[in-house]
């Protein structure tokens, strides 16, 4: 009786192991396979830029109006402030530091924690309407998928072009390129640029313009209002290496131009870039991104593959041991005959 009781305990333990394996694989893993609610990273880009020197412009110091080879730093703070089911409010706070000035441009997006595209359903307060990827690709990105990227400078969504696969800091990555061009729509950047300039100042800047622009401008400058209104075009180019497992950026290059335009007889004439930057993630940021991806993917693999498999094997072994321990059922005893022996 004791053997049969212990075999039942072992069988029950095997069933529990198998149930726990199923719980991990089909309940816990899906809840972990999405944007974490505690995301908080600070990637840094460094490079150089060509910029409009506002002080020289105001002083009429024409030869020094354009400053070239200026060191540029871009600090990004990417974090999740709240989650609601499969929706997260993700922040991408960008600060451009150049020539002793800091230009912050902060953005908040409601994103689907699984697809990493814009969240659907009820709109979130305080977030920027968008469509496309913003801070990362989804888990296990598909090279054949037609991902799209949201460019905050122009507030447009453009294709992400898959290039090839590779390796960065020991992590397998998928390489993409992005190019967005359109009217500058980021108020933080636009607020640092002059909406108009006195006609005399624009005239004095003409010799600094490319020859073809000078020719196009011709005598039209005299017909323009004073001050001369400006509009701006943003051109953004990104080379992105996304982790093949997590979809997070491991390496990236970011270049951006802000081009000043004037309206000449109803035709938009590009004059010159007033800002042109060329930056890349620092080595430390790349190393940090790779280390974080390695740690997270190892944990995900442990929870999604190794732990369920070990529990499943233990469960099967326990079931087998329990049934073997029970042994064959005892044979039924022959019935006792109570017939009386006849007296002779």
* End-to-end CA, the chain: 46
In a domain? residue 287: no
CA distance 203 to 215: 13
pLDDT value of residue 11: 67
Q: Are 232 and 312 within one domain? A: no
CB 142 within 8 A of CB 119: no
- Whether residues 108 and 223 share a domain: the answer is yes
Q: Which 3 state secondary structure label does DSSP give 335?
A: coil
In a domain, 289, yes or no: no
Q: Are residues 139 and 9 in the same domain?
A: no
- CA–CA gap between residue 76 and residue 88 (Å, rounded): 18
Q: What is the pLDDT of residue 250?
A: 98
- If the chain, 344 residues long, is cut into consecutive pieces of 10 residues, what is the mean pLDDT of each piece? 65 70 62 82 96 72 78 97 92 91 93 94 80 95 96 97 97 98 95 87 80 78 86 97 96 96 86 92 97 87 67 70 64 52 50
Dihedral (Cα; 286, 181, 117, 135), 10-degree rounding: 20
Mention every residue, 6+ apart, whose C-beta is less than 8 A from residue 125: none
Please indicate, yes or no, whether residues 187 and 40 belong to a single structural domain of this protein: yes
Q: With contact defined as beta carbons under 8 Å apart, do 323 and 7 qualify?
A: yes
**What are the tokens at 310?**
């070990």
**Bridge partner list, 179:** 237
The per-residue pLDDT for 344 is: 46
- Expressed as residue numbers, the domain containing 19 is 2-26+300-326
Strand partners, 95: 75, 104
Same domain, 199 and 315: no
Domains held by the chain: number: 2
What does the DSSP 8-state code read for residue 93? Answer: E
Considering the domain boundaries, does residue 11 fall inside one?
A: yes
Question: What single-letter DSSP state applies at residue 224?
Answer: S
């Amino acid at each position: 009786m004791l053997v049969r009781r212990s075999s039942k305990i072992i069988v029950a333990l095997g069933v529990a192991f198998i149930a726990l394996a199923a719980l991990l694989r089909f309940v816990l893993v899906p809840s972990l396979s999405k944007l974490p609610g505690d995301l908080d990273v600070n990637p840094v880009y460094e490079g150089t830029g060509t910029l409009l020197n506002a002080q020289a412009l105001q002083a009429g110091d024409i030869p020094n109006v354009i400053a070239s080879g200026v060191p540029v730093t871009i600090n990004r703070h990417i974090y999740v402030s709240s989650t609601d089911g499969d929706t997260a409010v993700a922040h991408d706070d960008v600060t451009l530091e150049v020539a002793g000035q800091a230009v912050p441009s902060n953005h908040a997006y409601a994103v689907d924690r699984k697809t990493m595209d814009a969240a659907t359903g009820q709109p979130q307060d305080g977030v920027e309407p968008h469509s496309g990827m913003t801070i990362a690709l989804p888990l296990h990105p598909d090279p054949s998928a037609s991902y799209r990227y949201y460019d905050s400078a122009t507030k447009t969504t453009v294709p992400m072009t898959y290039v090839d696969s590779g390796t960065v800091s020991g992590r397998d990555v998928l390489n993409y390129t992005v190019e967005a061009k359109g009217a500058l729509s980021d108020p933080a950047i636009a607020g640092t640029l002059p909406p108009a300039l006195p006609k005399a100042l624009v005239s004095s800047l003409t010799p600094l313009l490319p020859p073809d622009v000078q020719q196009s401008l011709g005598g039209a400058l005299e017909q323009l209002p004073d001050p001369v209104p400006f509009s701006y075009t943003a051109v953004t180019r990104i080379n992105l290496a996304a982790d093949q497992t997590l979809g997070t950026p491991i390496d990236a290059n970011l270049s951006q131009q802000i081009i000043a335009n004037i309206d000449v007889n109803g035709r938009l004439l590009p004059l010159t870039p007033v800002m042109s930057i060329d930056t890349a993630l620092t080595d430390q940021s790349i190393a940090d991104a790779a280390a974080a991806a390695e740690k997270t993917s190892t944990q995900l693999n442990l929870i999604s593959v190794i732990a369920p498999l070990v529990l499943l094997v233990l469960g099967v072994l326990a079931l087998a041991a329990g049934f073997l321990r029970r042994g064959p059922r005892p044979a039924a005893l022959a019935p006792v005959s109570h017939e009386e022996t006849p007296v002779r």
